Structure formats: structure tokens, C-alpha cells
Amino acid sequence: MTPEMPSPTPEVSTSAPPPIAPTVSSPPPVRRPWRYRRNELIAIVVAVFVIWVAGNLALHFGQIHHDHLDYVYNIDQQFPPDRPAPPGEILATTLAAIMDHELHTGFGWRPNDFYLWGPKVMADNNADRQIGIIMAMRETVRVFKDHLTKVSSNEYDPNLVIADTDLRNDAERWILPAPETKYQDGIDHLRAYVKGLHSTPPTSRELNIRAVELVRLIQAWTDLLGDAHANLYRTTKDDGSPVRSWDCDHYFYRAQGYAHVMYYSMMAIKREYASVLKDDEVLNTLFNDTIDALGQASVMKPLIVLNGGPNSIFANHRHNLDAYINEARQKMYSIREELQRSPL
């Protein structure tokens, strides 16, 4: 047998173990004093406030510029008094220019836009004004179609029929169909009406230069101004709740939209009916006074629409606007009476 060999004895290391690195604890986070965080918060609040004020001032002055259609459309320049125009051309061109201005300048059509720009919250002034504009446009085009270009059993002008229908699309609808699309189609048909006046033979029906038809338009406008007057003086809403200070601008700018359409349309009507008015000093004076009152009403733009009481040190801008609205309305009553006495 082979004798077992003893197992080798393991060598024992006599070297010292490697040194262990000492644990270094990280210093505790330095907490800034509250006064520094408070200053940052104040700076953020101030910056937001400055941006808000700057935005509102930009909207305010932008609206002032937008309210002046005569910056882009001037009746006397477009239709010089010494250049004859077919009856109906000046009024139709003016109505098309009013709607084109609302669709394609500034921020475009606002009542159906982003919620915060709608006719009930925040930057809503022009949205409310455009609601008034489209309501006055509908009535003016309706009378243009039904009375100013039609007598008794005559057929309607087809372009005015389509324009009237287009302008009755819901102003606050977003799509299906979008009001911008329908209103643009209405503008196109008003311009097609003008083009038809210049064709040979004319394919559009000319304006009837008779006082009896013009009375219908004046009546429609006085009805709208009566609505504006009632809203500018109302103290309770339809549901019985009181009119609050933040509600006043809705009534203010909607009435201003009425005045805007009537101001430019009445200047056009004065040119269209020049043959009726030229020898009537009373009617000429009444037209000029009405146009002046509507012009003042159409461009009033307070920074904030205030609702001061009768004894308050603050203004009541609704009542200030109503002074011009009611002046125009009373003058229109007188115009209607004069026209009814006219032999034409």
C-alpha cells in the first residue's frame, strides 16, 4: 500500500489587510432663507401681472384701431361723388367691406374662437361687438333683398337671397358649417351682385330709389336701436338676476356693433338716395345728425366699462353710449316721418 502523504499546510498571510477608506458624510442641504423664496414668488406674481396688463393694453389699443373701417374702406374714395354708380352698388360694396373687415383683420371672427376669447369670458369685447355686427348685417341685407331691390310681385335677386341665407349661420358655431365659411360666401355673393349690376344687360336687380322702400330699412334699424337702448338701461337679466358690473360690457359692445353697421350703411344710403335728399334740407340735416351720432357710438372704447350709479363718482359707460344710441334712434323716427310725407 502506498502511504498517505500529509496534506500541505496552507500558508498564513502575514501581511496587514488593506486600509478601509473612512466614510465621508455629505453636508446637509443648505436651505435658503424664506425671504429669498418669498422674493422669487413676488417676482413671478409681478411678472404675470405685467404681462396681463400689457396684453390687455394691446387688446385695447388694437380694438380702437380695428373699430375704424375707414382706415381700409372710405366710401368717398371708393365712389367719388362725380362718378356715377349703378343703384345698389355702394350699399352692397359697403356691406361686403364691413364683413370682410371682421373676418380678415385683427383676430378674425371671435365669437366661435378659443373659449377664453368667446362672448362670455375674458377678452370678449370684440366677440360681443361682432355679435351685434352680424345681427345688424342680417337685418340690413334682409331689407335690401325684400324691399330695396324688390317691388310687389317681382322676383328676388338670387345673389342677395344667398347672401341673406349665409349671414344667418350661427355666429358661435365652430364647424359644420363654420360661420367664417358661410359669411365669406355671403361676401362673395354681395360682390357678385355688384358685378351683375355692371354686366350687359344687368343680371342684378338695382336699388329702388323710392322713399317708401327706404322707410322699411329705417324701421328695421330703429327696432335694433330700441333693443340696444333697453339693454343699456336694464338692471335685471331675463332670469331675474341682477346685471352685475362684469355683465355690462356684453350689452355695451353688442350695441356698439349695431351702431358700427348702421354708421357705414347710412353713409352708403345717403349716397344711394342723393337724388331724393338733395332738395330736402330737413332730410339732409337729419341724415347728417344721425350719421354723426352713430359714428360717435361706433368708436367709444373705454379701458374698462364701468357701471357707476346716478350719484357715483365713477362713469356709467352704458348710459354714455346710450346717449348717442338714443339720439340716432330719435333722429331716425324723424327721418321716417319725413320719408312718409315724401312724394317719391
Distance CA 335, CA 344 (A): 14
pTM summary value: 0.83
DSSP element (H, E) containing 185: helix 179-197
Could you tell me which of 267, 321, 262, 265 has the C-alpha nearest to residue 125?
Answer: 321
Helix (H, G, I), strand (E, B) or coil at 183: helix
Indicate whether 166 belongs to any domain: yes
Q: What single string gives the DSSP state of each residue in 134-157?
A: HHHHHHHHHHIIIIIS--TTPPPP
- Measured from the Cβ of residue 48, the count of other Cβ atoms closer than 10 Å reads 10
18-62 tens-digit pLDDT: 666 556 556 666 565 666 677 778 888 888 888 877 776 777 777
Q: Does residue 147 surpass a pLDDT of 60?
A: yes
Indicate whether 116 belongs to any domain: yes
Burial of 103 (0-12, 13-18, 19+ CB in 10 A): middle
Compute CA 39 distance to the chain's CA centroid, rounded to the nearest angstrom: 41
Indicate whether 30 belongs to any domain: no
Indicate whether 305 belongs to any domain: yes
Indicate whether 17 belongs to any domain: no
Q: What is the pLDDT of residue 313?
A: 87
Indicate whether 313 belongs to any domain: yes
Q: What is the pLDDT of residue 41?
A: 83
Q: Per mean pLDDT, which range of 21-35, 57-71, 134-148, 149-163 is the poorest?
A: 21-35
Sequence length of the chain is 344
Q: Read off the pLDDT band of 251 (50, 70, 90).
A: very high
Structural domain total, the chain = 1
Q: Per mean pLDDT, which range of 14-18, 72-76, 92-96, 192-196 is the poorest?
A: 14-18
Q: Read off the pLDDT band of 7 (50, 70, 90).
A: low
Instruction: Find the domain containing 235 and state its range.
Output: 39-341
Indicate whether 248 belongs to any domain: yes
Indicate whether 10 belongs to any domain: no
Q: Does residue 10 surpass a pLDDT of 60?
A: no
Distance CA 225, CA 135 (A): 11
Burial of 127 (0-12, 13-18, 19+ CB in 10 A): buried
Helix (H, G, I), strand (E, B) or coil at 316: strand
